A and B are shown apart, each in its own frame.
Chain A
Amino acid sequence: MRLPPFECASPASLEEAINLLGQAAGQARVLAGGTDLLPAMKRRGIAAGLLVNIKGIAGLKQVSAREDGSTAIGAAVSVNEVTGLTAWPALAQAASRVAAWTLRHMGTVGGNLLVDNRCWYYNRSGEWWRGKEQCFKRGGERCYVFPSGRQCRAAASSDLVPALVAIGARVEVQSASGSRLLAVKDLYRADGAAPHTLEPGEILTHILLPPCPAGTGSAFIKLARRQTLDFALVNVAAVISLAEDGRTCREASAAVSGSVVAPTPLPVKQLEGREITTWLLDEVAGEAVKAMGFVTYAGAMDVPAGYRRQVAGVLLRRSLEQAWERARNA
């Protein structure tokens, strides 16, 4: 499969990149690592007349400390670099499970946050789709995975996002009209055909990690069929902060991706103000996983929704326990 023809621009500054995107009126796409965009263009799933290559913009390739204590990761920083950020173990764990080592130094953090939703049908080649009725994600009016569905249920497949949502990270987005900050979870909507809330002309520039408070532990677990180079069946991340007594939960959060259309926070607030015990974790995880809502198996249709929901509960329970252990040793 070869790429369709397009023009390519390599701006040296963010302003120039934003101008180019603005002028292209929705016909341009941002190119960073290219590991998700270029295969999608080869499959004729995504079309673009202009690619704006942001890898030459120095400010987007750095990890820096901000005055408010947060860590700003440039969108074009490679995923492999994030495996070395130790402040939040959940994030380093998630980064080390993205694709494979070779793809991780090509792929970028911004690209992983904006990775396209996956589907067994959508991800087939342009050849396969030729002459067939197109699905919602290809601009048509039907879903091959859920034939009675009225919307696309392709699966949110980023490994980093659940960790970032649980941590409470934010992203910085810039456009010609200025910059805005939003919580990572607000980058997504529950529509597999248009899963991101970025407007045309906007560039995700930085991911902002809050400082890790004292007595805080975090953990991430990915279930996939292979240890490398596989998209998740289920990803779960959890964060637990302990009060000064070292026993009572001060704050807790968790999130899931892989079997959902948009990365979803899981409600584990019931832990807060209570002394953590293993049976309390069992109880809370069992309840919290119900908030997953619609469970999609579009990413891999041979793994049914019931199993995915059950395994999400197990992974949530395990990641809470790991986060708790780390919090006690923090």
Chain B
Amino acid sequence: MSKILVELQVNGESHELAIEPHRTLLEVLRENLGLTGAKEACDLGECGVCMVLMGGKPVLSCLVLAADAQGQEIVTIEGLAQGGKPHPLQQAFVEHGAIQCGYCTPGMIMTAKGFLNSHPAPTEEDVRKAIGNNICRCTGYKKIVEAIMDVASQNAVQSGEELAKV
């Protein structure tokens, strides 16, 4: 099978790669780019541990062909922290103890990030439904939902302050 040239934008960096057309974005992230934050588990789109952002939306990278991700901005868990400072969602997951073994955490955080991008003021039920594609087998979902709701309410306060400034 002949390889094709693909240019991927991952975490703000451009990568040019020669890959086979049947390789998934997840495989290329983990094996070609060494970004092992997105995990490979069910590989069938059921567990959510491979979630990354593509064009600002969370996608299951095990079900996206790498060639199909060309021209889209991809963000993985490695790209969230800025200047050594954890992203507010990462901070909230730590503070709420929403992590145990940590395996589902990158996927949970990327789903939450994508969800809050388009739903800045969700209800708890909205959050529970949004992470319905992400499976956690340790903590249960209570602390995870609390951490996401915490960030959502911080966002609400911030946007309120910004509005007050204007």
A residues lining the B interface (CB < 8 Å) = 1-8, 10, 31, 34-35, 38-39, 42-43, 51, 53, 55, 99-103, 105-106, 226-229
A99 touches B21 (CB 8 A): no
Taking the closest CB of chain A, its distance from the CB of B116, in whole angstroms, is: 12
Interface size class of B (residues with CB under 8 A): 20 to 34
Q: Given A3-B24, A103-B133, is A8 in contact with B65 using a C-beta cutoff of 8 Å?
A: yes
Residues in B whose Cβ lies below 8 Å from that of A101: 115, 129-130, 132-133
A1 touches B44 (CB 8 A): yes
A5 touches B132 (CB 8 A): no
25 contacts between A and B (CB under 8 A): A1-B43, A2-B27, A3-B22, A5-B21, A6-B21, A34-B63, A34-B64, A34-B65, A38-B63, A38-B65, A53-B65, A99-B133, A101-B115, A102-B48, A102-B51, A102-B58, A102-B60, A102-B114, A102-B133, A103-B60, A103-B133, A106-B60, A106-B63, A227-B132, A229-B132
A39 touches B63 (CB 8 A): yes
A228 touches B133 (CB 8 A): yes
B1 touches A5 (CB 8 A): yes
Residues in B whose Cβ lies below 8 Å from that of A53: 65, 68
A42 touches B43 (CB 8 A): yes
Q: Could you say which of B21, B63, B111 contacts A8, with CB atoms under 8 Å apart?
A: B21
Compute how far the CA of A321 lies from the CA of B134 in the bound complex, rounded to whole angstroms.
35
Residues in B whose Cβ lies below 8 Å from that of A4: 22
Q: Is B45 an interface residue (CB 8 A)?
A: yes
Residues in A whose Cβ lies below 8 Å from that of B24: 3, 38
Taking the closest CB of chain A, its distance from the CB of B138, in whole angstroms, is: 19
Interface string of B44-87 (1 = CB under 8 A from A): 11101001000001111001110110000000000000000000
Q: Is B146 an interface residue (CB 8 A)?
A: no
Closest to A3 in B: B22
Compute how far the CA of A281 lies from the CA of B134 in the bound complex, rounded to whole angstroms.
40
Taking the closest CB of chain B, its distance from the CB of A327, in whole angstroms, is: 28
Q: Is B20 an interface residue (CB 8 A)?
A: yes
Closest to A53 in B: B68
B63 touches A35 (CB 8 A): yes
Residues in A whose Cβ lies below 8 Å from that of B20: 5
Residues in A whose Cβ lies below 8 Å from that of B22: 3-6, 8
